[in-house]
Chains A and B, each alone.
Chain A
Amino acid sequence: MPKVSALDMPDVPKGKLPEHLEVQRTRVVCNADAPIHTEPFHYSGAFALMGVDNSVTLESFCKNLKIEVIELTEDTMEFDMIGIDASLANAFRRILIAEVPTMAIENVLMVNNTSVIPDEVLAHRLGLIPLNADPKLFEYLSEHDTPNERNTIVFKLAVSCKKGSPRLTVKSDQLKWLPGGSELEMESPTPSAKPRTYTSFSRSQDSMPEFANKPLGVKHQDIIIDKLGPGQAIELEAHAVKGIGKVHAKWSPVATAWYRMLPEVILLKEIKGVDAEKLVKKCPVNVFDIEDVGKGEKKAVVANPRACTLCRECIRGVNEPQVELRRAKDHFIFKIESAGAIPPEVLFTDAVKILEEKCDRVICELS
């Protein structure tokens, strides 16, 4: 008998991977004990023997990449990113969390603070308040720069609780924007000299066209900053500057950004009758449904695989699995929860731009 390569066997599809390999290549299979095939096949020639090209070309990437926005609200966005590798999707996620700049309070000048919260802690709390300011309109404040209208936003907080009055809650809406810059005077070495403030604004920010109609302020008005007892008072000035989440989480523009791979639920065999009902009951998020096949016969179908949270109830403690849970490796359900300063859709394009810049830099360095 002549030697025939296994790949030339009649049941091996030509120019296509056999089914089990295709699953390995494109899906993560979530077994009851552990997920398998989580890593992709990176090597372009991994399946060359079978005549399958595993390389990624720009054209195919451009052709296959698809983005579908599922949900878009003021602060959150859910969209499907299809036809992309996890490493790229992850790059966007990482950039969103750590590298898209925002404005946040960095320096706090305490004039008076008699509240129970110590100065440092109060400053830390102020830092974490999301500001409603577009960071693109500002420049970074580097170490030797003087704060000016292009790199600093100044807020003022002056609250006091009168003696005899009930306890007062200080909320973020009491942070007042000072478009003219700091009002506090520096202690100058020579008393005769003209007193200087802590910022040197050349003009008021509200006279600038970009802020004229849109006053700067905090995003959420009801964040509790402090509570004042009778007789206590806070007076301070908070200076917000531009920064990125890598340095401190307060500059992270997102509450969080993450993705999950598209769930795929496969019924390995037809499930009918009582078993079907059992299966439907097992799932807490209603992935399965029952379909009438006629004659009172009932059949389980996968109605809503996207809802699967991978609780693995359907494959738990079963000897012979009826269901297989999979994740598509190139389909990401991406979710961005913006902290408020920048709308989520803008955030994503910003992230893409940052990645682009980085790539440019690499190309530039290489050439």
Chain B
Amino acid sequence: MGADPNVDLSSLAAPVSSPVDKFPLLPAFLKVRGLVKQHIDSFDYFINHGIKKIMKANDRIVCRHDPAMYLRYTNIYVARPSRITDTINEPLTPHGCRLSDSTYAADILVDVEYTIGHGTAKTPKKGELKDGPPTLQMRRKVIIGRMPIMLRSSHCVLTGKDETELAKLGECPLDPGGYFVVKGTERVILIQEQLSKNRIIIDMDSKGRVTASVTSSTHETKSKTVFFMEKEKIYLQLNQFAKPIPILVVMKAMGMESDQEVVQMLGRDPRYGSLLLPSIEECASERIYTQQQALSYLEGKLTSFSSSRDGGRREGMAGTILLDVFLANVPVINGNFRPKCIYASVMLRRMMDAILNTDTFDDKDYVGNKRLELSGQLISLLFEDLFKSMNSCAADLLNKAYENTSHHSHFHLFQPSFILKQDMITNGLEKAISTGNWDLKRFKMHRKGVSQVVSRLSFIAALGHMTRISPQFEKTRKVSGPRALQPSQWGMLCPCDTPEGEACGLTKNLALMTHVTTDDEEGPLISLCYSLGVEDLALLSGEELHAPNSFLVILNGLILGKHRQPRRFAGALRKLRRLGKIGEFVSVFVNDKQRCVYVASDGGRVCRPLVIADKGVSRIKEHHIQELRAGVRNFDDFLHEGLIEYLDVNEENNALIALYEGDIDKDDADNEKDANKSKITHIEIEPFTILGVCAGLIPFPHHNQSPRNTYQCAMGKQAMGNIGYNQLCRADTLLYLLVYPQRPLLTTKTIELVGFDKLGAGQNATVAVMSYSGYDIEDAIVMNKSSLDRGFGRCIAMKKYSCVNEIYSNGARDKIVRPDTDPSARKSTMQILDNDGIAAPGEIVRNHDVLVNKYAPKNTGDRHPSGTPIDYRPANATYKGPEGETTVIDRVLLSSDPNGKLCIKFIVRHTRRPELGDKFSSRHGQKGVCGTIVQQEDFPFTERGICPDLIMNPHGYPSRMTVGKMIELLGSKAGVSCGRFHYGSAFGEPSGHADKVEDISATLVKHGFSYSGKDFLYSGITGYPLQAYIFMGPIYYQKLKHMVLDKMHARAKGPRVTLTRQPTEGRSRDGGLRLGEMERDCLIAYGTSMILFERLMLSSDPYQVQVCRKCGLLGYYNYKLKTAFCSMCKNGDNISTMKLPYACKLLFQELQSMNVVPRLKLTEA
């Protein structure tokens, strides 16, 4: 392994201006941020700000009859999660909610002012009703509903608690939070990916037309405006218009009557003018010259639906649509259409740019054009809808109260606690989160699967679930574009972690350092931009707009004006951001191609922190890191002092980011010598952060073939291990735990950062890569029996069985009865019952054993006459499990469910040792089943007496190219021999976060091993040495959840379906094994007719029928008269008996029921 002479070593050895190890930043970053900060931030923003905005927008409930009667919200806030039990308000804990099937929610409180009494009573009959102005009353802390609280958000009881406090609350300190507990199940609202709103997207549609589209989204409306060019003419397409509208008509309708003005606004370039010419001509041919003509033209094109909405009034409709729907995101102040005109002309100009120069098309898959919708935004939509519904319901009640109070003074009818119905918001939120169906009619939103049950199969599965991004497209579309890996994903979305199959490339995961922004105030930014020299749009003529040397300034899709020195402007904004004067997530992006400066402060952008560098020199110096290590400085300090900043995908285009300090800008050969001229503006914190949580577990992923890493990302989520420190206190429906989990010998920095070293999901197995016995072909694994005896791969499967003590409508309830005190007198299935009639923990439970000795009342419908004893019938809850398996009752939980009924939960435990066919996998997408289990003495052994735990076939390597696994083996082997955990972080060799193979080999040699990791082995069977050196060492192996015990199935005879009398389907129903069509084809081809007959009829659904030879229909056999009879011919003369499949008989009868007569013609009777 000599040095390659071609590599210029001098460049590597050149002095580097003291590279600073920036790794300590990462733990610091994750400490302040956590792994799911995006969810928590988004939810916090909603709870603390968003909810107030919604309230302010809908703060008044006014009586229809009397505007002076009203109710007004003055404030809204969310309390701490609590629940009222027995009139005591007691705080809720998330774990308590998980166990008691309740929702972890907090009250939403409002302060209101409202009026009581009548202003002008309609018919004051009695003196009690006072005339005069209604009295204004205030009330504080009125509950309007309950809001499910995200765990670890600002309102959660867990925030700010340390490990011991969390332990007291039954919570795992490593659990990231970011999900909800609704009705006892943990549900996470997935991050939703969407195309960004309020931005111009230039694209080619399916018909090959160039289109410019804007999806506008404001608090009031949502609309989509599309410009497209067809036959050289440009049209507008809007849902409200039945046909495309020539663009010039639209411009004229907005008051730009002069064609010259339109052309001027597009710019001076004659090419634009000539592109617009056909459109101008078309407009002229329609004889539309004035605004009035244009508007009436538009009114003629309205869809019948939109015109019928307002009672057929067409006049003024076009104007309203232009005002409210067309480019709804551009505000129209005092009927001034000019901003909309300018916006439309900018859209036109960009379209024409795209026609003239095809590379100015926008890429829909570009991450910068995407927004991620988080739980906060989704709940905010839901809440807004529910809040409005509640308000309209309240208004109805108010109206009713007003109408009714003519007779009595029902003051309580005006009380806010009466008008404001809590259930609406509480149930609406709970239902949406617990089902995942977001059905909002108001926003035409019907989404399914928004929330999912948090996968608790392993710790990593749960973490990976929090970072998952669900796609905007439906999965069935066969398009490659959105599935492909986007270069702009770098550092933001994990390149490895995506599922295989239909959702491949659409479902993505966040990278380790990614942050998703929340909305930031626009107002101050706008005024700041103007004071930084942005020339206001209103002051500019069309000609000036696109004057050379000036850039348009666009804030969140809104054109503010233009600036003559865009770079200076951008620099100033960035400087302010680094100083902390404006939000840290505001991005500034100078687009030279479009001659625009994009300023963005909207929510849902992905961004990530980077170290700021001045001409390639990092701003972070050694002393900063030392202060960080000493604990006097945290990540936020770095941010506030302008050493680190967040860049979003767009702004990354203006930056030149080096991987390491001292890297040279390779594009510019001149800079190589003069470091002062370096254009590098930022330095990555750590390159391995481009991977996500799941991919971060893989050691040396950069040495593997890429799909292998993707496979491992999917498999890491199925690996058994520990799921949390509170795993034994949880009551999940199904839980798999490893008995002796280990942390990997070859770790990565990500493993330590996410806490996988504390909650491992696998064991370090000594693997020999060799062929053995032939039971290891096709990825099978040969396992050492003694290793299994000693606890390798042992796992615990825990299942939950619950049983409710029902209370019926007539007040009767189930009762649990104490079993016979004398154990010998008890039935064999009652043996495990305790004296309270409930199975005792620690007892071995077998199939059909009684878990609860329960009796149910016979009469549950009508009222029971008092005095007489209630009749009961046994309604035991029995255990149904596989025969011959010894499972143990681990725990019994008694709780009351939300309806107040007693709920008994049994956690049943089964400890399993690996058996033939159980699935195992290394961390490199190399899965395999256990092929055979071999005695230790038959296993090969090394000169040091080491015997492998498992043997893997070497054919697993060449086609899969998982070199990372080989390096893992070497590294682990070196690790065990020198007593130090080795590292294998992605791309970590230059920065020292991954051990180099050379160093590992040196360590191996130092401890007397071969540099290559190959050992001299003796055969355990013959005793002679093996004829090859065997690659052997420890590899971290995961046991996957797929176990033979859960899958094996066979049946001779068993249950049948009632309808067809054929055997049932599926293992759970003890179903038959189907001889399918292809198998049938084989038998036909073979000519084995009797086998076919036996399989398809005799073993399935044979049935004897009586057939009438005359009419060919089925008759019946009268057992009383012992004769067969044809009900068609009304006699039994010509009946034959034959056998046919019951399904066939069923078919005949079904056909007959549809007036089709199937007649059988018998050849032999």
Contact = CB atoms under 8 A, between A and B. Distances in A.
Interface in A272-305: 284-285
B842 A119 contact: yes
B1009 A311 contact: yes
A248 B786 CA distance: 7
Contact of B1022 (A86, A257, A335): A86
Nearest to A261: B1025
B1029 A97 contact: no
Interface string B1012-1029: 000110101111111111
A98 B1008 contact: no
A34 B786 contact: no
A34 B1029 contact: yes
Interface residues of B, number: 46
Contact of B739 (A36, A121, A316, A337): A121
B823 interface: yes
A35 B1027 contact: yes
A93 interface: yes
B937 A94 contact: yes
Interface stretch (A15-23, A110-118, A354-362): A110-118
If over half of A's interface residues share one DSSP class (helix, strand or loop), that class is named, otherwise mixed; here it is mixed
Contacts of A120: 888, 911
A311 B1005 contact: yes
A40 B1024 contact: yes
A250 interface: yes
B67 interface: no
A249 B790 contact: yes
A210 interface: no
A249 B785 contact: yes
B510 interface: no
A98 B936 contact: yes
A87 interface: yes
Contacts of A312: 1010, 1029
B842 A113 contact: yes
Nearest to B941: A258
Given A40-B1024, A335-B945, A119 B1005 contact: no
A313 B1011 contact: yes
B909 interface: yes
Nearest to A307: B1008
A284 B1006 contact: yes
If over half of B's interface residues share one DSSP class (helix, strand or loop), that class is named, otherwise mixed; here it is mixed
A218 to B, nearest CB: 17
B1023 A87 contact: yes
B1020 A30 contact: no
A124 B791 contact: yes
A106 to B, nearest CB: 13
Contacts, number: 117
A28 B1025 contact: yes
A327 B890 CA distance: 55
Contacts of A245: 786, 936
B1025 A35 contact: yes
A54 interface: no
A120 B842 CA distance: 10
B567 interface: no
A166 interface: no
A245 B947 CA distance: 15
B947 A93 contact: no
Contacts of A249: 785-786, 789-790, 936
A335 B942 CA distance: 12
B935 interface: yes
B322 interface: no
A86 B1023 contact: yes
21 contacts: A30-B1016, A34-B1029, A39-B1024, A86-B1023, A90-B1018, A90-B1023, A93-B1023, A98-B936, A110-B842, A118-B888, A124-B794, A249-B789, A256-B941, A284-B1005, A309-B943, A311-B1004, A311-B1008, A311-B1009, A311-B1010, A311-B1011, A337-B945
Given A35-B1029, A128-B790, A90 B911 contact: no
Contacts of B1021: 90
A98 B937 contact: yes
Given A86-B1022, A284-B1006, A284-B1008, A116 B1027 contact: no
Given A249-B936, A250-B789, A38 B1005 contact: no
Interface in B991-1045: 1004-1011, 1015-1016, 1018, 1020-1029
Q: Which of B739, B786, B947 has the most CB of A within 10 A?
A: B786
B1024 A116 contact: no
- 3 closest pairs, A vs B, by CB? A90-B1023, A249-B789, A309-B1008
A93 B937 contact: yes
Interface string B778-815: 00000001100111001010000000000000000000
Interface in A224-265: 245-246, 248-250, 252, 256-261
A36 B1027 contact: yes
A8 interface: no
B728 interface: yes
Interface of B: 1, 728, 739, 785-786, 789-791, 794, 796, 823-824, 842, 888, 890, 909, 911, 935-937, 941, 943-945, 947, 1004-1011, 1015-1016, 1018, 1020-1029
Given A35-B1016, A249-B936, A90 B1008 contact: no
Given A87-B1023, A124-B791, A260-B943, A187 B1028 contact: no
B946 to A, nearest CB: 8
Given A118-B890, A118-B911, A38 B1011 contact: no
Contacts of A38: 1024-1027
B793 to A, nearest CB: 13
Contacts of A40: 1024
Interface string A105-148: 00000100100101111001000100000000000000000000
A124 B947 CA distance: 22
A89 B870 CA distance: 79
Nearest to B888: A119
Nearest to A127: B789
A189 interface: yes
Contacts of B1025: 28, 35, 38, 261, 327
A67 interface: no
A208 interface: no
Given A39-B1027, A250-B789, A252-B936, 20 more contacts: A35-B1016, A35-B1027, A35-B1028, A38-B1027, A87-B1024, A90-B1018, A90-B1020, A90-B1023, A97-B936, A98-B937, A118-B890, A121-B911, A128-B790, A245-B786, A256-B941, A258-B941, A260-B1018, A284-B1007, A309-B1008, A317-B1
Contact of B1023 (A89, A119, A189, A311): A89
Contacts of B790: 128, 249
A310 interface: yes
A233 to B, nearest CB: 13
A119 B887 CA distance: 11
A97 B1021 CA distance: 13
Contacts of B1: 317
A53 to B, nearest CB: 22
A250 B1004 CA distance: 32
Contacts of B945: 256-258, 335, 337
Nearest to B1028: A34
A309 B1009 contact: yes
Q: Which of B1, B1018, B1025 has the most CB of A within 10 A?
A: B1025
Nearest to A285: B1008
B1005 A246 contact: no
A184 to B, nearest CB: 15
Contact of B824 (A39, A124, A189): A189
Contacts of B785: 249
A258 B1021 CA distance: 13
A184 B842 CA distance: 17
B145 to A, nearest CB: 40
Nearest to B936: A97
B1011 A118 contact: no
Given A34-B1027, A121-B739, A284-B1006, A187 B888 contact: no
